[in-house]
Amino acid sequence: MSSRDYYLDIPIPGRSAIRVQGTKTDLVALRSYLSGLDHEIETERREHAKTRALHGTACDQVESIERQLVEAKETIARLNALQRAEADRHRTTPDTLDTIEADLRRTYNKPDSKLVLNFETIAHADTVALNAYQHPAPPTVWIGVDVGQEQDIPQREGQ
């Protein structure tokens, strides 16, 4: 080895160092190049860590959006049900049923009438059920009256 040759020990993680021999200019250039590579590797590691963190954040955001979407669909379903119930309530109100009942009572429940009507509101808000029976033998007849529609009152057979 000549007096112009120099040595550069390059540490390798997990191993012993590598000794490189060369001119001073070559070794300085090599050290600069390796230092630049170390900097690039460290930059890539930081960028990769950021990307992993952003990916985790993005996944969390997607899951959050999916949960919000499910909640929104459930809320819309509840609002639609409330809206339908409100529309049903406005279609036939208790006042309307009371009016129909009063009219039918005035018409059919007279002292000399042999027909007595008992009124009972059943499950559908837009239907009034009438349980009519005659004296003295009371056969039961159910008469369905659809509120808001003009129609003949249907009667079952055997009357």
What pTM did the predictor assign?
0.36
DSSP secondary structure letter of residue 140: -
* Cβ contact 19:37 at 8 Å: no
Of 137, 141, 156, nearest in space to 108 by CA: 141
CA 42, distance to chain mean position in Å, is 44
Amino acid letter, 13 = P
Q: pLDDT by residue (tens digit) across 88-119?
A: 766 655 566 667 667 766 666 665 555 555 55
Peptide bond preceding 136: is omega within 30 degrees of 0, i.e. cis? yes
Q: Which of 17-21, 22-26, 151-155 has the lowest mean pLDDT?
A: 151-155
Which of the listed ranges 41-50, 60-69, 71-80 does the model predict with the highest average pLDDT?
41-50
State whether residue 18 is helix, strand or coil.
strand
88 SS3 class: helix
> Beta strands 5-10 and 115-121: pairing type?
unpaired
pLDDT at 42 > cutoff 80: yes
